[in-house]
Structure 1
Amino acid sequence: MTDTNTENPETPIEPEVLVEKKKRKKSSKLLVAVIIILFIILFFVLGFGYYFYKNNVGTNTVYQEQIETLTDKLDSQTARLNSQLQQTKSSNDNVKTQIEQLNIQLQDSQNKSKLYNDDIQSLRRAVAETNIRHPSDWILAEVEYLINLSGRKLWLEHDLNATIALLSTADQRIVEMGDPSLNPLRRALLEDINMLEALPSRDVDGIILSLSSLERRIDTLMIAGLTMSEAAETDTKEVSTDISDWETNLDRSWDSFIESFIVISHRDKPVEALLSPEQAWYLSENLRNHLSKAEFAVYREQQEIYDIALQGALKLVSVYYDMGDKSTQQFYNAIQKLSKETISIDYPDQFKSAPLLSHILKQRISKSFTIESAE
């Protein structure tokens, strides 16, 4: 037994090596199989990925093209709608402008129609006036003219006498007609005349001539000069010749010496200063300005301005001119007399006879027109 084991020392080791070799072969085969399987899987994964990528890219491209197509269609439709909207707006503006023009034309037509109607009425009235059947009615037109003229004389020229004369002439023309139906008109005319005669009369020409005469006399007035009141007399003491009065003579000499330096004069009245030639000229012009202002106030019937101007003239004369002079005193009295004059008169706003006469004329013309239409 011992010899057998010694001669074949590798016999028991051989099966283990074979087993290990077999294991190695199996492991290498398994590894190769795993690698092959991995390659196959990787190949399938790459193929599937490539296929999926190609399909997705194609699909996205189609979708993108569809989106771009829809966007282009939407843009074109939006542009078309905007164009239609602008055209509609322009059409509305044109329609609105046409409506405004039609309204203006309609207004013009209405105004022209109104003017035509007024012209027709005027023509009808003119025809009726020319066909008045009573010749005496023409006198009423003359009476209307006289009343209108008297109104202009009163309110524009303030000529009261001429106004009364014109209304009296109109009354005489009504008397000549001998129409009893015109008695209310004549009564209104007489009331107007009596109202005007009751107004205070004013002599405009006389006042203006008086003021102009006073203006020419201004340069002849005597301006108050420097008047010195007499100083109070002081007692003068003479030096006596008696030697025993030497003390008294000394005091008097001393007082006389002192008074030669300072002289005090006592006066009971204030001393008025003299005016220079330039100041005297300004004084005369100022007085003349007051009188001229009063003249303008007479023409315009502005009583307040007239009174203020004459009061200013009276103040200048009393303060700066010699009131002891007879001419100055007469000048002052003349201004004072003029200051009492009334130059403003409250005239009536309307004659009572004017609306009554207008009503009578309308009645007669309407009656005449009615008769002409009936015929």
Structure 2
Amino acid sequence: MSDALPSPVLAARSRGDRAARAIAVVGIVAALTAAVFAWDARQSLRTLESRAGGRLAELGEESAQSKTALAQAQVSLKESQSRLAELEARVAESQESRVQLEEMYRDLSRNADDRLLSEVEQMLVLASQQLQLAGNVRGALAALQAADQRLAKAEKLAVAPLRRALAQDMDRLKALPQVDTVGIAVKLDNLVATADQLPLVVADSLPPTRLASRAKPLEEPGFTRAARDFWEEMKGLVRIRDLENNDAALLAPSHAYFLRENLKLRLLAARVAVLARDELSFRDDLRAVQGWLNRYFDAKAKPTQVALATVKLLSESPVSISVPDINASLAAVRTARSAREKAR
């Protein structure tokens, strides 16, 4: 046993072997842990890719639907424009008939009373045309009031039945709700002008802090500027926002452009409906605008709140009213003229 190593050497060698085995075990465990984390990260990446692909497909479908809605809105706008052109043609015809009436009345007798009745009849005819063609209650009421004032100055003319008919027609017109066509059109034009400034639920631009950081002067040292830019880019990878609506729609920048254009087209279609006194189309367009504002735009932002309040106010405004006729006054003035002609 002279070749046997001393016991201290054997003990040291045994401790070295145990340490080596422990290190090997730790290395194996670390390798397994790294492999598990790598596999989990790969699975998470695949899940994210599948979700992103599904979301892109949904956005593509929504874009196609938006294009279809845009085409339908354009067709509706063309139809409204054709109806407006027809209405303008009818107004032009009424103006031509007014010129003919004026020429005819110039040839009437110079008798003051006959001339007065002729002028009153002309006023009433114009008022009736304003009511039937354009629904202009204010213009018709002004014409009736002017006619009544002219008759009030003719003390020798027996027109009490005519004035009673005028008073009844004026009372009916005054009882009608007023349609502020000009005010509604101005509000719609303001909404169209502010459509591009309305913030979306998820902003399609960089946050103000990042824009401010990018605008800092370039006199900083190269390493400091590079580190700051790297940190800003890393912070921009993930953006967290508290959305009250779980179904909030996320739009790409190109889709956001089409959304704003569709919003403008809907507002313009509502404006045309106001001019054409088409209350059904006007209500439908405003409901669509209100739905898009609530779904796609940030309801907490002040511009969006103002736009929603304006749309709500417009939706409560009357556009088309059932205007009465003034046939009683027309019949009364024609009866008065016939009575004077028979009395000659």
Scaled by the length of structure 2, the TM-score of the pair is 0.54
1:161 deviates by 1.7
Match of 1:315 among 285, 288, 291: 291
Q: Residue 14 of structure 1 corresponds to which residue in structure 2?
A: none
**Alpha-carbon distance change, 333 to 135 in structure 1, aligned in 2, over 3 angstroms:** closer
Distance in structure 2 (CA, Å) of the matches to 1:183 and 1:339: 43
CA offsets per residue over residues 248-267 of structure 1, 9 Å max, x none?
xxxxxxxxxxxxxxxxxxx9
**Alpha-carbon distance change, 198 to 271 in structure 1, aligned in 2, over 3 angstroms:** closer
Match of 1:219 among 196, 202, 214: 196
Q: Residue 147 of structure 2 corresponds to which residue in structure 1?
A: 170
Q: Residue 139 of structure 1 corresponds to which residue in structure 2?
A: 116
Match of 2:184 among 207, 220, 230: 207
**Alpha-carbon distance change, 358 to 318 in structure 1, aligned in 2, over 3 angstroms:** same
1:271 deviates by 7.3
Tell me whether 1:296 sits opposite 2:268 in the alignment.
Answer: no
CA offsets per residue over residues 3-60 of structure 1, 9 Å max, x none?
xxxxxxxxxxxxxxxxxxxxxxxxxxxxxxxxxxxxxxxxxxxxxxxxxxxxxxxxxx
Distance in structure 1 (CA, Å) of the matches to 2:251 and 2:284: 25
Q: Residue 198 of structure 1 corresponds to which residue in structure 2?
A: 175
Correspondence list, 1:224-303, <5 A: 224-225=201-202, 270=246, 272=248, 274-303=250-279
**Alpha-carbon distance change, 205 to 283 in structure 1, aligned in 2, over 3 angstroms:** same
CA offsets per residue over residues 69-117 of structure 1, 9 Å max, x none?
xxxxxxxxxxxxxxxxxxxxxxxxxxxxxxxxxxxxxxxxxxxxxxxxx
Unaligned ranges ≥5, structure 1 = 1-125, 227-266, 369-375
Unaligned ranges ≥5, structure 2 = 1-104, 204-241
Distance in structure 1 (CA, Å) of the matches to 2:282 and 2:258: 21
1:165 deviates by 1.3
Higher relative contact order (CA 8 A, sep 6+): 2
1:273 deviates by 5.7
1:312 deviates by 0.4
Flag the structure with larger Rg: 1
Q: Residue 86 of structure 2 corresponds to which residue in structure 1?
A: none
1:180 deviates by 6.2
**Alpha-carbon distance change, 306 to 271 in structure 1, aligned in 2, over 3 angstroms:** closer
Q: Residue 30 of structure 1 corresponds to which residue in structure 2?
A: none
Over aligned residue pairs, what C-alpha RMSD do you find?
Answer: 2.6
**Alpha-carbon distance change, 213 to 144 in structure 1, aligned in 2, over 3 angstroms:** same
SS in structure 2 at match of 1:169? helix
Tell me whether 1:189 sits opposite 2:189 in the alignment.
Answer: no
Match of 2:134 among 153, 157, 182: 157
1:275 deviates by 1.2
Give the % identical residues: 30
CA offsets per residue over residues 205-237 of structure 1, 9 Å max, x none?
1110011001111111111128xxxxxxxxxxx
Tell me whether 1:353 sits opposite 2:329 in the alignment.
Answer: yes
SS in structure 1 at match of 2:134? coil
Distance in structure 2 (CA, Å) of the matches to 1:152 and 1:273: 49
Alignment coverage as a number of residue pairs: 200
